[in-house]
Amino acid sequence: MGEPLPVVVGLDVGGTTCNATVLDAGGRFLVNRLVETPSRVAEGPDVTVAVLAAAFAQVLELSGTPRTAAVAVGLDTPGPASADGVLSSRGATNFAGPAWRGFDFRGALERAVGLPVTYLNDANAAALYAHRQHFGADAAARSSVAAIVGTGLGGGVVEHGRVVTGAAGQAGELGHVHIPMQGLLAPDQPLPHCNCGFAGDAESVASLTGIANNLLPYWLTHHPDHELGALPIAEAAALVRGYAEKGDPLALKVFEQQAMALGRLFTVAANVTDPHAYFVGGGVVETAAHFRDWFLARVREHTVLREEQAAAAEFALVPDLDMAGARGSALAALITVTGAIPDA
């Protein structure tokens, strides 16, 4: 045995858990499962950064890699945050409390582990992982967009194998792109509003928040005897997918509108970056195969591509969503170190 290959560690940090992985310089993930620890966000930044430093050491040990082989760390978190990993001064849903406002997450982790840290938001990291898994050795020559439907609608834009981050770190915020509502909404359906302040953006329809605030309250008025009407709206919203899997007409209306919103969003992307691939991820596709396939087919159907684009483009799912953030942030760190996206 010679010297171990240099490695990078990916750390995906959310409001409840941290997930860690190890990627070697040859492009191989050395951990094949979810390695999670509680992120202890409620106890403040110092505690969470200490948790991350411990997770860093633990995942290296788990992969049988000496600490000295680690050359960089990739960090991803939910936003909003700047391009270099400073959380918004206005606060972030997953990092509540005054100590988190304006917190330099990337800088603090860099000091804690003594290695360079690359930062991405969680949706960007998942988009990068989806891109590399899908295209493999061709990743550096391809482009993609990814939409990840969760509480909000996360997104990522990848060009030539690299995440487009933008001047302020806010590129790829696909959820807040305005989409045409004509023909998407029913004639008497109110214009949906998003938590960002916009009306009629993609997230106002294609997110769990959009179901709770906009879609479900409307569709319940057309199905007054539906059993979901008896529950608090947030609780009912989380159950809609289960109903849709069973073919419930109200739930299918909700997801038909979400698929149409994603299709219209991808139609915008088709005219902006004209990507090779469109990825859909999140709870909406982490589901029964028949429903997932129906949903992806509907998204595709509602994406208006020119003939040449339709021949060139692919539609696919974001794979391994629970590990995609950690793996994508590890890829970003390796790209920073080596200057190239590793072959699969």
98-137 binders of Zn ion (CB under 5 A): none
Using the minimum distance from each CB to Zn ion, give the nearer residue, 7 or 284: 284
Which span (168-176, 223-231, 282-290, 322-330) binds Zn ion, by CB under 5 A?
168-176
Which span (64-72, 196-204, 253-261, 291-299) binds Zn ion, by CB under 5 A?
196-204
Please report how close the Cβ of residue 56 comes to Zn ion at its closest, in angstroms.
34
Using the minimum distance from each CB to Zn ion, give the nearer residue, 215 or 332: 215
CA distance 306 to 241: 32
305-335 burial string, b = 16+ CB within 10 Å, else e? beeeeeeebeebbbebbebbbbbbbbbbbbb
Using the minimum distance from each CB to Zn ion, give the nearer residue, 194 or 285: 194
Structure tokens at 73: 């760390």
Q: Does 176 bind Zn ion (CB under 5 A)?
A: yes
List the end-to-end C-alpha distance of the chain, in Å, as a whole number.
23
Q: Does 55 bind Zn ion (CB under 5 A)?
A: no
DSSP 8-state class, residue 283 = T
CB 87 within 8 A of CB 103: yes
Using the minimum distance from each CB to Zn ion, give the nearer residue, 12 or 203: 203
Using the minimum distance from each CB to Zn ion, give the nearer residue, 76 or 201: 201
Q: Does 173 bind Zn ion (CB under 5 A)?
A: no
Which span (12-20, 181-189, 200-208, 244-252) binds Zn ion, by CB under 5 A?
200-208
Using the minimum distance from each CB to Zn ion, give the nearer residue, 194 or 332: 194
Using the minimum distance from each CB to Zn ion, give the nearer residue, 77 or 214: 214
Q: Does 337 bind Zn ion (CB under 5 A)?
A: no
Sheet holding 162-163, edge to edge: 162-163, 153-159, 144-149, 277-282, 314-317
Q: Does 203 bind Zn ion (CB under 5 A)?
A: yes
Instruction: Classify residue 1 by burial, with Cβ atoms within 10 Å: 0-12, 13-18, 19+.
Output: exposed
CB 36 within 8 A of CB 11: no
CB 208 within 8 A of CB 198: no
Q: Does 24 bind Zn ion (CB under 5 A)?
A: no
CA 108 to chain centre: 23
| Bridge partners (DSSP) listed for residue 149 | 153, 282
Q: Does 220 bind Zn ion (CB under 5 A)?
A: no
Instruction: Classify residue 69 by burial, with Cβ atoms within 10 Å: 0-12, 13-18, 19+.
Output: middle
Which of 110, 173, 201, 248 lies at the binding interface for Zn ion (CB under 5 A)?
A: 201
Q: Does 194 bind Zn ion (CB under 5 A)?
A: yes
Please report how close the Cβ of residue 151 comes to Zn ion at its closest, in angstroms.
12
Using the minimum distance from each CB to Zn ion, give the nearer residue, 85 or 210: 210
CA 275 to chain centre: 18
Which of 44, 198, 267, 320 lies at the binding interface for Zn ion (CB under 5 A)?
A: 198
Total binding residues for Zn ion by CB under 5 A? 6
Which of 86, 99, 196, 238 lies at the binding interface for Zn ion (CB under 5 A)?
A: 196
Which span (84-92, 122-130, 169-177, 255-263) binds Zn ion, by CB under 5 A?
169-177
CA distance 211 to 226: 15
Helix (H, G, I), strand (E, B) or coil at 242: helix
| Bridge partners (DSSP) listed for residue 22 | 9
Tell me which residues touch Zn ion (CB under 5 A). 176, 194, 196, 198, 201, 203
